[in-house]
Amino acid sequence: MSNAPEGFRGKLCNAIERSRSFLCVGLDPDPARFPDVVRGDVGAFLREVVSATQDLVCAYKPNIAFYEALGERGWRVLKDTVEAIPDSIPVILDAKRGDIGNTAKMYAKAYFKDLGVDAVTVNPYMGFDTIEPFLRYGAAFVLCITTNPSAGDFQFLQAEGKPLYLWVAERAVEWARSGEVGLVTGATRPETIRKVREVAPCLPLLIPGVGAQKGDLEASVREGLDGEGRGVIVNVSRAVLYASSGPDFAEAARRVAMGFVERMRKVEIREI
């Protein structure tokens, strides 16, 4: 058994040990890309993907926007999807929330109490009081380095000799004294992941941007590993979900997921 602490970090560490994997599959359903065999049944599509990949992942990450776009049924589909994920695998809800404390309390209650997720992505722009409500329930992953083209509009601005994203990382380390905090650090800029890891040596890093966005998988893992050879969660969404448009979509999702896992295992063995 793992000696990992309880809470999100303990659940994550156990999942990494069990799967020997840092892979997180993003569950971002776009019915327009579904194979004909599921006929637009979002729940069935996602359940098949989860069933095919659950032994290969350390986490799943549904993005709430794709469920909101489904209208009235979206919340139910999201809830059913979370319930279909084995309890031993952490669920990170990608919501990127950031609002005044009173509003943040309601977001946190909905996501952790009703949906039953383990962590939520949050926006640090408005400061700690907008993030603290999430820490009362579970973990919060703070946006630090994002993968979008305009990320540099703010994240790389210099303030007192260092870029804003490193200020965010420093604050996140402070906030982690009040609960479980992680950082979102995009794989499209792996050189910045190393700098973040230096500032935040113990925080888990959620690394999107591998796959469709062509981030550097090996470099991101290498720069992101903590002192215990863990601490990274590498998210891949579209490359796994839509690996095939045919009836073999679940088998194809597993095959592509396994490919990412094998590549990361090589980095893990080399670096630890």
- The residues annotated as belonging to the active site are 96
Say if residue 226 is exposed, middle or buried (CB neighbours under 10 Å; 0-12, 13-18, 19+).
Answer: middle
Residue closest to 212 by CA, chosen among 180, 175, 238: 238
Cα separation of the two ends of the chain: 20
Which residues 6+ apart lie within 8 Å of 43 measured at CB? 77, 80, 81
Which residues 6+ apart lie within 8 Å of 249 measured at CB? 35, 37, 38, 45, 48, 49, 242, 243
- Residue 226, token pair as written in the block: 């903590």
- Contact between 233 and 194 under an 8 Å Cβ cutoff? The reply is no
Say if residue 125 is exposed, middle or buried (CB neighbours under 10 Å; 0-12, 13-18, 19+).
Answer: exposed
